[in-house]
């Protein structure tokens, strides 16, 4: 789908002054399921919004009990899979309590960089179990962020978040092609956020932020209350960690959502699959043995469109919208295409010199892949 400025930020450079959509602040004591069951669990908080387990940092989960109880505290990842039980039916006294998590999973392995949340269950004689499950009453609020500051000199984009959220930053040309996913639903703490971007497209072929009608689309959805973001793990990504687990982890118990919440569909989608994918463009007639850095074309060239092997399982047997652009000018579209996809690119109408073909592939789940190739047209 072509980018449209009304979907987010329109920036040429500098600061854009727009209305700021401050996020709603959650209220644990008012909305938590535990409050409806005798208020056995209250004053839930965490000692830090982010921490670095590889640096031996820890985080505390703090809560208050109305009476003595057997308490279970569990850590879950964003796919609602159990990471670790840090307390299991442990006896705890009425009043203030705290549990400590060192950022390791049930196998003792440090978790990858991601956002994690906690559930608390308390059982006391004569009372129904009290449950604190933040997914049931918080997170998933969504919208566009319409104010920020772009620095070409520093290669940064600054903006503010009202509460911890996942952020997706896409850039491209208004009314034309998307050029890159700069940030792909990554968790961010509240406050002023700085994203780094060199201004280039996905394949590092052309500067985007200096082009006319350059647009940025910055979207967020809030994390569950008291989420904690693990940082500093340079050894493996979340996707590599999850696909490398020897067996599936237990799922969080399903519980009904509180109230009539309106949440984004991305809130409950898997962080392994709900992401942008890399588009690969090749020229089979010219690249039978090895890639050609700058193919020379006179009249036409066959273009083969596909995705990285690790992305094929996500898109298998799905129809996609495939859009093609010559130098960011619309060229052709296949509304219900399958991958891999082949098409003959007629270039005889283009002037001599270098040109860029950009392909956008959109799934029905709002996943978009981008790929570009440069050619030289000769006459």
Tokens of 276: 């942008």
Torsion from C-alpha of 76, 275, 110, 241, nearest 10 degrees: 100
Helix (H, G, I), strand (E, B) or coil at 33: helix
Query: What is the structure's pLDDT at 258?
Result: 87
Q: Do 58 and 164 have their domain in common? A: no
CA 228 to CA 230: how far, in whole Å? 7
For residue 63, what is the domain's CATH number?
A: 2.60.40.4070
In a domain, 274, yes or no: no
Query: What is the structure's pLDDT at 180?
Result: 97
Query: Who wins on pLDDT, 318 or 325?
Result: 325
CA 216 to CA 287: how far, in whole Å? 34
In a domain, 72, yes or no: yes
Average pLDDT over residues 237-264: 94
Domain range enclosing 293 = 279-377
Tens of pLDDT along 106-117? 999 999 999 999
CA 320 to CA 292: how far, in whole Å? 28
Query: What is the structure's pLDDT at 313?
Result: 80
Q: Do 168 and 96 have their domain in common? A: no
- Is the pLDDT at 22 greater than 60? The verdict is no
Mean pLDDT score of the chain, rounded to an integer? 88
In a domain, 9, yes or no: yes
Q: Do 172 and 128 have their domain in common? A: no
CA 139 to CA 25: how far, in whole Å? 10
Which of 83, 116, 136 is the last residue in one of the domains?
Answer: 136
Tokens of 279: 């588009």
Q: Do 100 and 173 have their domain in common? A: no
Tens of pLDDT along 30-58? 334 433 345 589 999 999 999 999 999 99
In a domain, 230, yes or no: no
Report the greatest alpha carbon distance in the chain: 87
Query: What is the structure's pLDDT at 89?
Result: 96
For residue 357, what is the domain's CATH number?
A: 2.60.40.10
Tens of pLDDT along 319-338? 889 999 999 999 999 988 88
Residue owning tokens 């600054």: 158
Cβ-contact 176, 235 below 8 angstroms: no
Query: What is the structure's pLDDT at 291?
Result: 87
Question: What's the domain count of the chain?
Answer: 3
pLDDT band at 314 (very low <50, low <70, confident <90, very high): confident
Q: Do 339 and 368 have their domain in common? A: yes
Q: What is the pTM of this model?
A: 0.87
- Is the pLDDT at 4 greater than 90? The verdict is no
Which of 116, 136, 156 is the last residue in one of the domains?
Answer: 136
In a domain, 21, yes or no: no
Which of 115, 136, 157 is the last residue in one of the domains?
Answer: 136
Classify residue 207 by its DSSP letter.
B
Q: Do 10 and 147 have their domain in common? A: yes
Q: Do 108 and 122 have their domain in common? A: yes
Q: Do 159 and 263 have their domain in common? A: yes
Q: Do 34 and 126 have their domain in common? A: yes
Average pLDDT over residues 293-315: 89
Q: Do 58 and 123 have their domain in common? A: yes
pLDDT band at 306 (very low <50, low <70, confident <90, very high): very high
What burial class does residue 375 get, using C-beta atoms within 10 Å of its C-beta: 0-12 exposed, 13-18 middle, 19+ buried? buried
Report the sign of the C-alpha dihedral through residues 25, 30, 36, 40, in that order: positive
- Is the pLDDT at 368 greater than 80? The verdict is yes
In a domain, 23, yes or no: no
pLDDT band at 192 (very low <50, low <70, confident <90, very high): very high
């Amino acid at each position: 789908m072509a980018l449209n400025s009304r979907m987010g930020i329109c920036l040429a450079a500098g600061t854009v002054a727009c209305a700021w959509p401050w996020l709603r602040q959650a209220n644990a004591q008012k909305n938590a399921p535990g409050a409806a069951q005798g208020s056995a669990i209250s004053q839930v908080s965490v000692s830090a919004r982010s921490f670095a387990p590889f640096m031996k940092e820890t985080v505390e989960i703090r809560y208050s009990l109305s009476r003595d109880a057997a308490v279970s505290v569990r850590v879950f990842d964003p796919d609602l899979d159990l990471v670790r039980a840090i307390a299991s039916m442990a006896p705890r006294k009425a009043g203030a309590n705290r549990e400590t998590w060192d950022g390791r999973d049930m196998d003792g392995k440090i978790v990858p960089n991601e956002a994690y949340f906690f559930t608390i269950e308390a059982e006391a004689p004569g009372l129904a179990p009290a449950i604190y499950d933040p997914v049931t009453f918080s997170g998933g609020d969504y919208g566009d962020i319409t104010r920020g500051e772009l620095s070409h000199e520093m290669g940064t984009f600054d903006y503010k978040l009202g509460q911890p959220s996942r952020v997706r930053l896409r850039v491209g040309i208004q009314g034309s092609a998307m050029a890159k996913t700069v940030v792909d639903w990554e968790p961010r703490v509240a406050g002023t956020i700085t994203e780094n971007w060199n201004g280039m497209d996905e394949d590092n072929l052309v500067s985007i932020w200096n082009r006319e009608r350059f647009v940025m689309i910055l979207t967020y959805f809030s994390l569950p209350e008291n989420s904690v973001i693990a940082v500093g793990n340079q050894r493996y990504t979340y996707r590599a960690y999850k696909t490398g687990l020897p067996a599936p982890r237990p799922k969080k118990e399903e519980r009904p959502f509180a109230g009539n919440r309106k949440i984004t569909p991305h809130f409950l989608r898997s962080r392994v699959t709900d992401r942008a994918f890399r588009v690969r463009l090749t020229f089979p007639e010219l690249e039978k043995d090895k890639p050609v850095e700058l193919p020379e074309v006179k009249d036409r060239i066959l273009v083969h469109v596909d995705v990285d092997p690790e992305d094929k399982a996500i898109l298998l047997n799905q129809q996609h919208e495939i859009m093609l652009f010559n130098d960011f000018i619309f060229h052709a579209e296949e509304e219900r295409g399958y991958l891999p996809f082949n098409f003959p690119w007629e270039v005889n109408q283009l002037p001599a010199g270098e040109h860029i073909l950009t392909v956008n592939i959109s799934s029905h789940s709002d996943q978009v892949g981008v790929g570009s190739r440069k050619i030289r047209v000769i006459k």
